[in-house]
Amino acid sequence: MFTPTAPPSTPPRTIGRSLQSVFVMAAVSALMLGGLGSRLAYLQLIEGDRNRQLAEENRVRLVSKPPERGQIFDRNGKLLVGSNPSYSLFLWPIALEEAEWPIALQRLSHILRVPVTEIQTNLEKEGYNSPYRVRVARGLTIQQVVALEEARTELKGVEIDAETMRYYPNGDLAAHVLGYTGEITDSELESLEDRGYRMGDVLGKLGVEAALEDQLRGEWGGQQVEVDAMGEVIRILGEKPPIPGDDVILTLNSDLQKKAEQVLGNTKGAIVAMDPRNGEVLAMASRPAYDPNIFSSRISDEQWQQLQAKEHPFLNRALRSFAPASTYKIITTVAGLESGKFSPGTVLPTFPYLEVGGIQFWDWNRAGFGPLSFQGAMTWSSDTFFYQIGRSVGGEVLAEWSRKFGMGQLTGIELAEEESPGVVPDNAWKEEMLDEIWYIGDSINMSIGQGYMQATPLQVAMMFAVPANGGDLVQPHLQLDLQNRREWTKSINLKPSTIQVLREGLRDVVQVGTGAALRTNSIPPVAGKTGTAEDQPRKSHTWFGGYAPADNPEIVVVAFTENSGGGGGSLAAPMVRSILEAYFQGQKTPAPKP
């Protein structure tokens, strides 16, 4: 029997399926290669510059090195300003992506106790792609250094480096002369960038630190170093050592400066001591003061509040202008004698008051002194005598001689940015400033250093130097001129008889007049003048200016107290006596020259 069999099964297809597999694999490969190519194109074309820089900078870094700032010494070689070793914290912007920095900044903020925004601002100013390090903290404590080292593996792009920090070994001594340093501000950087300054630079802010910045600064150096993956230096590829700034020697005598500040104590005011022969400033004290060390690192809120509690501690009162009061009678005497309207032998009556235009201008003792010569009027500081001189010569002549004595203009001292030129009023000045004409009463007020007349303690010291040195105007200066390259004096062409009247009158002030506080055997003979300036409705200012030895002067001292009340003879004169005692006693054991 025939049994039908099933037809043979169809063999499976292989050719078509193989082709499909090939196409799938090709498509996947194409996608992978396309993605990889796109990524490579992105990395090379879009991020190529940064990645090349990052790859190179991961191996080679530029490490800038700031120069050590020049030191500042007094005339006898005593250190006034130096630099101490310190640690600073730097960020290396390119080490991390911008999105990676916030975590590191949070950790740094916690360790440094500084707001994140403050650190981030410094980083953003330099730019996240910058290869240069950015200083974000100076003067790190040992505790901060330890904490940062412990967190080093978590703080990529964060580096600690040794630098020097400005140090003022005597605290607030001569703070207004020396000034202080601080990091450059945005506005300062904008004007100084073309002179090679960079963000994070330290520069002088006030005083000599600012005035002699170019000498003290020095030149930046740096290193090109190769580092490993941990940031450790493998080798130095190239180096340019920083060039330190020049040292500076000042005219200051630090012992005399210390005495001047002790004498002022908590009294608001200023003391200037100067050599009348060449203008060297031996001491320049101002109160209240501040300690410049607090600005060498980040100033705390507590320190700032303490400064704010003082009354303008950054103001150098030796360079600010006030009514010079009766010390100005030196210029009134010169104006009267040099005008030809009065002779050295002139004698004038004095009165309780002088009435001009219906206004009574009173003498300070409310009684007058009877007939007086120029010397006698200086001795007793008779106001009505000098009213008559001022009324006769007029305001224009007083103004002319004021300018010849250096008033109403900058003195030429290095601290010009902080100096007031003062005010020498005349008819043109009054019309411009007050829209009024000049009256005889204005000349009368000016004749005794009141009214609109304004002078600084330094300018008053220059005024006293003229009779002290025999008729020369000196230019005060703070930088010691060891080679005597400059001529610091110029004659203002006074008659010898005028100088003699001034010297005799100023000597009599101390011998028999209002300067009795200087009548002592502890110092050589002194010549000088008191002054008490009204400052309504506040208390009066007091002045005393003098020089010694009277017959061969080598030092001028001016003391000024602001709104202290009292009189120049009772408050300012004893201060000058203390300075002169310190000066002449110190000469017995002269300090070695630098």
In 3-state terms, what secondary structure has residue 186?
helix
Provide the pLDDT confidence category of residue 151 given band limits of 50, 70 and 90: confident
Q: What pLDDT does 43 receive?
A: 44
SS3 210: helix
Question: Quick check: helix, strand or coil at residue 185?
Answer: coil
Nearest partner of 254 among 278, 277, 279, 281, judged by Cα = 281
Query: Which residues constitute the domain of residue 194?
Result: 60-249
Does the residue 325 lie in any domain?
Answer: yes
CATH number of the domain within which 454 lies: 3.40.710.10
Q: Give the separation between CA 163 and CA 580, rounded to whole angstroms.
A: 42
Tens of pLDDT along 228-246? 655 566 666 677 788 899 9
The structural domain count of the chain equals 2
Judge if 200 and 228 occupy the same domain: yes
Residue 225 — very low, low, confident or very high, per pLDDT cuts 50/70/90? low
2, part of any domain: no
The answer to whether residue 593 sits within a structural domain is: no
Residue 18 lies inside a defined structural domain of this protein: no
Confidence band, pLDDT 50/70/90 cuts, at residue 23: low
Q: CB neighbours of 94 closer than 8 A, spacing ≥ 6?
A: 50, 53, 54, 57, 128, 129, 130, 131, 157
Same domain (yes/no): 258, 182: no
Flag whether 297 is in a domain.
no
Please check whether residues 472 and 342 belong to one and the same domain. Answer: yes
Residue 36 lies in a domain: no
Q: Could you tell me if 273 and 416 lie in one domain?
A: yes
In the prediction, which pLDDT does 19 show?
53
pLDDT in the model for residue 279? 96
Q: Confidence band (pLDDT; 50, 70, 90) for 171?
A: very high
Confidence of residue 154 (pLDDT cuts 50, 70, 90): confident
- Asked if 485 and 522 sit in the same domain, the reply is yes
Place of tokens 């110029």: 490
pLDDT in tens, 525-577: 999 999 999 999 999 999 999 999 999 999 999 999 999 999 999 999 999 99
For residue 557, list its beta bridge partners: 273, 546
Residues 190 and 280 in one domain: no
* Whether residue 3 has pLDDT greater than 50: no
Percentage with pLDDT > 90 across the chain = 61
295 or 500: which leads in pLDDT: 500
Do residues 70 and 212 share a domain?
yes
Using CA atoms, how far apart are residues 133 and 127, in angstroms rounded to an integer? 10
pLDDT tens readout for residues 424-446: 999 999 999 999 999 999 999 99
Annotated active-site positions, please? Answer: 326
Mean local confidence (pLDDT), 349-359: 96
Does 73 share its domain with 204? yes
Same domain, 273 and 169: no
pLDDT attached to residue 121: 86
Kindly report the backbone phi and psi dihedral angles of residue 159, in degrees, each rounded to the nearest multiple of 5, phi listed first. Answer: -135, 145
Residues 227 and 261 reside in one and the same domain? no
Alpha-carbon Rg of the chain, whole angstroms?
37
For position 363, what pLDDT does the model report?
Answer: 97
Question: pLDDT tens digits for 86-108?
Answer: 888 888 887 788 888 998 899 99
Whose tokens are 């490490």? That residue is 63
Asked whether residue 307 is domain-assigned, the answer is: no
Residues 234 and 352 in one domain: no
The share of the chain scoring above pLDDT 70, in percent, equals 85
Residue, of 442 and 41, whose pLDDT is higher: 442
Q: Which helix (H) or strand (E) holds 85?
A: strand 79-91
Least confident of 145-154, 349-358, 436-445, 581-590: 581-590
Where does residue 305 fall: left (phi above 0), alpha (psi -120 to 50 degrees), or beta otherwise?
Answer: alpha
Is pLDDT larger for residue 43 or for residue 399?
399
- Domain end point (choices 201, 232, 249): 249
Asked whether the whole model's pTM tops 0.75, one would answer yes
Q: Which of 37-46, 377-386, 464-473 has the lowest mean pLDDT?
A: 37-46
| Average pLDDT of the residues in 178-188 | 90
Domain harbouring 208, CATH code: 3.90.1310.10
Asked whether residue 51 is domain-assigned, the answer is no
Same domain (yes/no): 452, 569:
yes
Average of per-residue pLDDT values in the chain: 87
d(CA 507, CA 487): 28
177-186, 218-227, 231-240, 384-393: which has the minimum mean pLDDT?
231-240
